[in-house]
Structures are given as structure tokens and as C-alpha cells.
Copies of this chain bind each other. A is one copy, B any other.
Amino acid sequence: MYKVIYPTIITGLLVLFTSVMLSLFSKSWDPKSKHCYVTGGSSGLGLAVAKLLVSKGAHVSIVSRDARRLENAMKELEAVRTSPHQILRYYSYDLVTAAGSREALDAVCEPHQGKNPDAIFMLAGSCHPRFFIEETEETMRTQMDQTYWVQAWTALEASKRMVRDKSKGKIVFHSAYIGYITLIGYAAYGPGRMALRALADTLRQEFLLYDIDVHIAFPGTMYTPGYDIENATKPKITLKIEETDPGVTGDQYAKGLLRGVQNGDFHISPDLLGNIFRASMRGVAPSGNFIVDSLWNFIGWIGLPIWRMSVDSTVKGHKKEHEEYLTSKGFCMFCLNAGEAGLHTDQI
């Protein structure tokens, strides 16, 4: 690979410049009259995206587990419909298994003559941070279900159908800042969020074979019902580190997400910090404007190590308080004999 770099630097710059120019004249995707399937669509970001899509004239199907929340969400969707012909539906399924995801897709396609959705927004999931040594086999697996599998199964089932039927479409994954830059407290959550990024990166390339578009969004703090659940188990030190993140509402983020999808962006990070993280974790993901992204890369190159050193120093300063916390939780911090005390994955 590296053998070709030097003679092609100028060519590369020209190609990138040309693609930026071309993108200025490309037509953006319009959700009007499209069938959009939104998982996790009964609350938070899912509901915000579903409402936005309905307000733009799309047919929208939402799926989540809680039937009562779905009913309330449907009222909000009905309130913003722009035409009596829009098909708005809600379904209750658990998407953390392949079977549940398949059944949900069957149900969602039914009012559309069995046709696959034109776009799938995978926004279901939840976050439960805690210290790694407090995790158990169950909490680790549940967090992987709620980050990775809840999207991976829908992507798998949907893409099999799309390839079988030769239908084009969009698959939109949903990661988080933590999918770029993890923090203390996210040892169970971060891996699933980064795993989604790997899946999206792979599928973006693989689905060039089928003309299926792949997107993935990386939001930061969002003030949604899920945020309160997340903070219930979040270690104090993590809350402290995150207190400078200003955060946005689900409605605010939904607009940025949909704009990214409409523009054809692959990694969607519609804010300053997200862009710095994206450029510092770009890998081979197609990026946006070369000049602007060079700036994000430079800022991240200088700024992120400084930020990391500051966070590391905060963590080290938390040692004493953490020892007290562990002692209060029953961890024996002063046993020299391994047999004396302690706890295993199945004992917490």
C-alpha cells in the first residue's frame, strides 16, 4: 500500500478536491413517500427522528418493547403527519435476538405489500455505565445486547432481504461519542458502540456490491429519558469528567442525523467535538471536506492528548475516594491472601 503513496499524493489531493466539488452538486435524499423503519422509535432519539421523518412526508413504522409508550408515541406522530396517505404504524418487539428482529421486519413490511423499508434507522438501545470490576457476566451480556446485537440482527435480517429482492435502501446505525473515545465507566458499553462502527465500516464497503447505503451516527450527551437511566448507574468520576459536555436534546440531534443521512455522509457527527473525535478515529472511513477535516485532525492531534492527560490525572486523583467506595461495596482492598475474600462474576 505504502509504495504508492509518494507518487500519488498530488493525484489524491486532486481526486479529493474533485469529489468535494461534485458533492456540492449532488441531490440530497428525500424521505417523502419513503417507508422509514425506526427501531427504538417510542422515545428519545428514536421518537425524535420518527417525528421528523413524518413531518417530511415519510411513511413511518416504529418498533420498541413498551406497548404503552408506543401508543403515546403514535399520537405524537399522528400530530405531525402532512398527508392522510402516510402509513404510520407501531409494533412491539424485542430486537435483541435475530428471531425478534426478523418478526419485527415481517410485521413492518406487511402494510407495504411485503416490500422492504427504504430506510432503516436503528435507534434502539440503552446505556448502563459502571466500574468494570462491578460488572457481571449478565450485565456485560445485556450491555452488548443493548448496544450491538439490537442493531446487528436488524441489519443482518434486513440486508438478506434487500439482497434477495434486489431492493436498494439505507441502513443507519447509531453509535455514540463513546464509539470513538471511551471513558472510565464505559467498559461494557464502549465495546458494543465501537463494534457497531466496525460493522458499519465493513458493510459500507461490502454493500457496494448491492448498492445499499450505510450510515452511522455518533451523538454525544443527549437529554432523553435514556440519559436519566444511564446516570442512575454512572460512576461519580465519569459524571465529573462529562460535566463539561454541553449536550443537546433528542430533537436537536435528530435534525443533524437526518441532514447527514440526506447528504449521504457515512460517519455522521454533526457537532464540533464529534468532528474532532471522528477525524482522530477516521481509519479508512470516507470523510467530508478535506480541508475542514484536516483542521479537525490537527486540533485532535494536539488537543486530545492534552485532554487525555487531564482526564488521566483526574482519575488518579480519584484513587482514595474510589478505595472508600469499593470498601463500602464489600470489596476487600487489604487482603493479601487471595482466599480470604473477594467476589466473582456470579457473586455480585
Chain A residues proximal to chain B, CB less than 8 Å:
1-2, 4-5, 8-9, 11-13, 15-16, 97-99, 102, 109, 114-116, 131-133, 135-137, 140, 144, 148, 152-153, 155-157, 159-161, 163-166, 178-187, 190-199, 201-203, 205-206, 208-209, 244, 272-273, 276-277, 280-284, 286-287, 294, 297, 299, 301-309, 311-312, 315-316, 318-319, 322, 326, 331-339, 341-346
Instruction: Evaluate whether A345 and B102 lie within 8 angstroms (CB atoms) in the complex, with A133-B159, A164-B335 already known.
Output: yes
Could you say how many copies of this chain the assembly holds?
2
| A333 cross-chain contacts in B, Cβ below 8 A | 163-164, 166
B202 and A337: CB pair below 8 A?
Answer: no
Cβ-neighbour of A303 out of B5, B179, B202 (below 8 A):
B5
A147 to chain B, nearest CB (A): 9
Query: Which B-chain residue is minimally distant from A208 (CB atoms)?
Result: B315
What CA separation (Å) do A341 and B308 show in the bound complex? 52
With contact pairs A9-B302, A294-B301 given, residues A343 and B183 touching in the complex (Cβ less than 8 Å): no
Q: For residue A116, which residue of chain B has the nearest CB?
A: B338
**In the complex the two chains form, is A137's CB within 8 Å of B164's CB?**
no
Q: Least Cβ distance of A272 to chain B in Å? A: 6
User: Which of A109, A205, A343 gathers the greatest number of chain B CB atoms within 10 Å?
Assistant: A205
Query: Which of B307, B315, B335 contacts A284 (CB under 8 A)?
Result: B307
Complex contacts, A334 vs chain B, CB 8 Å: 166
Q: What are 14 A-B pairs with beta-carbon distances under 8 A?
A: A13-B302, A137-B156, A163-B331, A165-B337, A178-B198, A181-B201, A183-B205, A186-B198, A187-B199, A190-B202, A191-B199, A209-B322, A283-B304, A286-B308
Determine the chain B residues whose CB is within 8 A of the CB of A297 once the complex forms.
Answer: 297, 301
7 A-B pairs besides A1-B273, A2-B303, A280-B282 with CB distance below 8 A are: A2-B276, A98-B140, A135-B156, A187-B199, A187-B206, A209-B318, A281-B282
A203 touches B187 (CB 8 A): yes
| Cα–Cα distance between A179 and B194 once the two chains are bound (Å) | 10
Does A160 contact B133, Cβ atoms closer than 8 Å?
Answer: yes
Alpha-carbon distance A152/B237, docked complex (angstroms): 23
**Which B residue sits closest to A284, measured CB to CB?**
B308
- Asked if A312 contacts B208 (CB within 8 A), the reply is yes
Taking CB atoms, residues of chain B closer than 8 Å to A344 are 102, 157, 160
**Shortest distance from the beta carbon of A129 to any chain B beta carbon, whole Å:** 10
Query: How far does the alpha carbon of A346 sit from the alpha carbon of B100 in the complex, in Å?
Result: 12
- Contact (A160, B1) CB under 8 Å given A191-B199, A283-B281, A338-B109: no
